[in-house]
Amino acid sequence: MELKEQLKDIKTQLRLSMNGAVSQSMREKGLVYKLNFGVELPRIKSIADGYEKDHALAQALWKEEIRECKIMAGLLQPVDSFLPEIADIWVEDIRNIEIAELTCMNLFQNLPYAPAKSFHWIADEREYIQICGFLTIARLLMKKGDMDERVENEFLDQTLTAFLSGSYHVRNAAMTAIRRFMQHNEENAFQVCRRVEAMKDSSSESEQLLYTLVKEELD
């Protein structure tokens, strides 16, 4: 089946699986897309399972301004042909938290250059690039939490700073990464505690919140 036929077939299946109530609910929750069929995630995955992973198909799906196509792109993109510069293009195109979370889970965490690229992303000032960096690091920490001392210090510096000064979604993504780091071993948890202990009685609401969340993680 040629690329155009594959795209047409996928869109047909998505339209047949439309759920207006889900689409409306997502809009009300702030998940805005140019086009959203409201197809639930298990169904999107089921449709994707009918196709082989294919670079050209995934790239074409990503270019579609359709929620379900972008989700499928992350599922169908082969890792070996997804070059770092393409990863940057995709990240710059992400505009909401659902696509950020799903693309990090389905694709970014599996990239061989994910550790280095995620640190590059968290140093960016753009909101969703930072978010993708933290979400990717969080998933890498679930697999393997070891970092050398220099990398650990850089990670903690960037992550705590992002939590204290970032947007709502950046803050949540940064906290997810902090939790994964702390859960890896007691030494990691101790390092985070040492950095936030002075924030207990801070006049800054964000510092107090960070202290409270870290304490809750320990408890």
What is the domain count for the chain?
2
Q: Which residue has the tokens 């979400």?
A: 135
Confidence of residue 145 (pLDDT cuts 50, 70, 90): low
Is residue 25 scored above 80 in pLDDT? Answer: yes
Residues 208 and 154 in one domain: yes
Is residue 36 scored above 70 in pLDDT? Answer: yes
The crossing angle, in degrees rounded to 10, of helices 3-16 and 55-63 is 50
Residues 97 and 147 in one domain: yes
Residue-level pLDDT at 126: 95
Residues 116 and 208 in one domain: yes
Residues 159 and 189 in one domain: yes
Total-model pTM = 0.92
Residues 133 and 171 in one domain: yes
Task: Write the burial class of residue 159 (CB in 10 Å: 0-12 exposed, 13-18 middle, 19+ buried).
Answer: buried
Residues 104 and 124 in one domain: yes
Residues 107 and 59 in one domain: no
Asked which of 28-37, 63-72, 82-91, 128-137 is least confident by mean pLDDT, the reply is 28-37
User: Side-chain half-sphere of 61: how many Cα atoms within 13 Å?
Assistant: 28
Residues 23 and 97 in one domain: no
> Measured between alpha carbons, how far is 160 from 152 in angstroms, rounded to an integer?
12
Task: Specify the DSSP class assigned to residue 146.
Answer: -
* Residue 50, domain extent: 1-78
Mean pLDDT of 132-142: 96
Residues 68 and 97 in one domain: no
Is residue 1 scored above 80 in pLDDT? Answer: no
The torsion of the CA quartet 149, 106, 86, 37, rounded to 10 degrees, works out to -140
Listed residues 61, 78, 95: the one ending a domain: 78
